[in-house]
């Protein structure tokens, strides 16, 4: 059965890869699993039908027969478990790849989201200018640690894995801020992720939704 995921009907970034269905599309592309996409509006995301799939009223969701999942970490893990290509066969290496998936969403993504919130949602507050350097330094602290661990390796732990897919996806959000460029090995790591044919296909598929919509309007 072909899985169906949900994605923004109108993405705030116009389909340029920042919405989180990108990482799920990327995982599908890496393992060669076809998928379908059901666009949802912001209003529909908060209505009962979508809330039954996603208790927090967000995208993406994943449906396959009776199975409904939410949370990109869980969805990518589910895809990686069922298909070859994203998790190593060796038990230890597999556990470490899963560890990097958790690190991406649980340790690296939170300060990056905090920065996005500080700019987008709190930029007009009187205390925003004073707080921003503190928020940026929290991101730098995490990136420094990650940069030290990556060193001059190509990927986080041997061959490319779901751990890299999640970490690159999380770091991509920083590109417009310029902070990533302070850590050349991380910037190169992200560029290697973006250069993967599967990432390019995922990006193009997401963008096509919005370029087609704007041609039609
Ligand atoms: N932790 C969740 C976050 C999901 C999330 O924040 N999705 C965003 C789109 S990238 C969303 O639906 N935002 C709209 C909203 O929260 O109302 C995951 O990784 O799946």
- Name the residue among 166, 55, 193 with its Cα closest to residue 105: 166
pLDDT at 19: 95
Q: Which residues line the pocket of ligand 1, CB cutoff 6 A?
A: 19-20, 45, 57-59, 71-72
| Ligand 1, atom 12, residue with closest C-alpha | 58
Q: Looking at beta carbons, which pairs linking 16-19 to residues 24 or more positions away fall under 8 Å?
A: 16/207, 17/172, 17/203, 17/206, 17/207, 18/172, 18/173, 19/59, 19/206
How does residue 216 score in pLDDT terms, banded at 50, 70 and 90? low
Model confidence pLDDT, tens digit, residues 3-20: 999 999 998 888 888 999
Cis peptide before 110 (omega within 30 of 0): no
Q: How far is the CA of 153 from the centre of ligand 1 (A)?
A: 31
CA dihedral 109, 179, 196, 9 (to 10 degrees): 60
Percent of the chain with pLDDT over 90: 88
pLDDT at 211: 83
Beta strands in 93-195, from DSSP E residues, in sequence order: none
Ligand 1 atom with the shortest distance to the CA of 70? 20
Model confidence pLDDT, tens digit, residues 26-75: 999 999 999 999 999 999 999 999 999 999 999 999 999 999 999 999 99
Measure the CA–CA gap between 77 and 214, rounded to whole angstroms.
Answer: 33
Question: Tokens 């993406």 correspond to what residue?
Answer: 60
The per-residue pLDDT of the chain, averaged, comes to: 95
How does residue 142 score in pLDDT terms, banded at 50, 70 and 90? very high
Section 177-195 average pLDDT:
97
Sheet holding 61-64, edge to edge: 36-40, 4-8, 61-64, 67-70
Model confidence pLDDT, tens digit, residues 124-135: 988 988 999 999
CA distance to 44, 74, 103, 172, 178, per residue, from 134 (Å): 36, 31, 22, 21, 16
């Amino acid at each position: 059965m072909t899985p169906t995921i949900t994605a923004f009907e109108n993405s705030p970034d116009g389909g340029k890869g920042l919405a989180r269905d990108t990482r799920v599309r990327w995982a599908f592309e890496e393992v060669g699993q076809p998928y379908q996409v059901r666009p949802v509006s912001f209003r529909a995301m908060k209505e009962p039908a979508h809330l039954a799939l996603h208790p927090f009223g967000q995208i993406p969701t994943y449906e396959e027969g009776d199975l409904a999942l939410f949370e990109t970490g869980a969805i990518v893990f589910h895809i990686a478990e069922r298909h070859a290509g994203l998790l190593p066969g060796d038990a230890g290496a597999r556990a470490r790849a899963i560890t990097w998936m958790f690190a991406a969403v649980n340790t690296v993504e939170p300060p990056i989201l905090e920065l996005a919130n500080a700019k987008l949602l709190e930029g007009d507050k009187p205390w925003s200018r004073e707080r921003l350097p503190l928020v940026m330094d929290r991101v730098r602290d995490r990136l420094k640690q990650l940069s030290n661990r990556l060193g001059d390796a190509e990927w986080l732990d041997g061959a490319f894995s779901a751990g890299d897919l999640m970490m690159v996806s999380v770091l991509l959000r920083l590109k417009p801020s310029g902070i990533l460029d302070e850590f050349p090995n991380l910037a190169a790591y992200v560029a290697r992720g973006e250069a993967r044919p599967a990432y390019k296909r995922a990006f193009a598929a997401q963008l096509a939704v919005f370029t087609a919509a704007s041609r039609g309007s």
